[in-house]
């Protein structure tokens, strides 16, 4: 591995480790938790806010994981959700929901767990799809509470991380494109942020 690659990845990896959760990540399934009714298009009680157009989750000789990091900047408690949908499909393979996230609380959504050989996480996921998505390309839809108001105020970052086959070494990382969803307009007219 080139030293320049490691030097480039270090600030990103340190930023992820700085917000590592104290407990193992929750496991999400295609079924939302009790009290949250699934709808064919979206998550009940939540409004679509963003689309991450290039999501990859692969477990092979060179692994790939997409991590979506959401920080609540609304000044109040909000619920957040992420759906993974295969390209050219409309039914989500995985829905992940976190409720009652306090102001400035960060949640890291992962489509597969990314432990390294020592058992530590390269990506300290708060919630992970169950089962892990291990050979998938698609998009992620990001949601937040419809009410109370202001829950649309959030910071969203998405990263695609390439690691060695056993996830022991990061090989590369890049930002994934995030597009703001314009309520009431078809996707083709979306101009992004």
Rounded to two decimals, what is the model's pTM? Answer: 0.74
Displacement of CA 112 from its chain's centroid (Å): 10
Asked if residue 192 is part of any domain, the answer here is no
Number of domains present in the structure of the chain: 1
Stretch 84-113: mean pLDDT, rounded? 89
Stretch 48-66: mean pLDDT, rounded? 90
Provide the pLDDT confidence category of residue 67 given band limits of 50, 70 and 90. Answer: very high
How far CA 53 is from CA of 85, 116, 133, 158, 175, in Å, comes to: 10, 27, 16, 10, 11
Indicate the Cα dihedral angle 16, 190, 151, 111, nearest 10°: -40
Provide the pLDDT confidence category of residue 176 given band limits of 50, 70 and 90. Answer: very high
Asked if residue 190 is part of any domain, the answer here is no
Classify 9 as helix, strand or coil: helix
Asked if residue 191 is part of any domain, the answer here is no
Asked if residue 188 is part of any domain, the answer here is no
Classify 4 as helix, strand or coil: helix
Asked if residue 125 is part of any domain, the answer here is yes
* pLDDT for position 179: 92
* Model confidence at 44: pLDDT above 80: yes
Q: Please give the residue range of the domain that contains residue 82.
A: 3-183
Q: Are the CB atoms for 57 and 136 separated by under 8 Å? A: yes
């Amino acid at each position: 591995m080139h030293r320049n690659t490691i030097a480039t990845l270090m600030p990103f990896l340190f930023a992820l480790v700085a917000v590592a959760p104290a407990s193992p990540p929750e496991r999400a399934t295609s079924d939302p938790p009790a009290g949250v009714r699934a709808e064919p298009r979206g998550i009940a009680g939540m409004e679509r806010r963003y689309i991450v157009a290039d999501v990859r989750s692969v477990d092979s000789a060179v692994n790939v994981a997409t991590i979506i990091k959401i920080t609540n900047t609304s000044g109040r408690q909000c619920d957040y959700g992420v759906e993974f949908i295969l390209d050219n499909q409309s039914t989500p393979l995985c829905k992940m929901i976190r409720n009652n996230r306090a102001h400035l609380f960060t949640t890291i959504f992962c489509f597969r767990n990314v432990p390294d050989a020592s058992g530590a996480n390269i990506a300290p996921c708060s919630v992970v799809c169950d089962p892990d998505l291990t050979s998938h390309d698609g998009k992620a839809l990001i949601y937040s509470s419809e009410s109370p108001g202001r829950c649309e105020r959030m910071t969203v970052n998405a990263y695609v991380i390439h690691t060695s086959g056993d996830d022991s070494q990061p090989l590369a990382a890049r930002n994934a494109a995030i597009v703001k969803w314009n309520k009431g307009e078809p996707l083709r007219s979306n101009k992004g942020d």
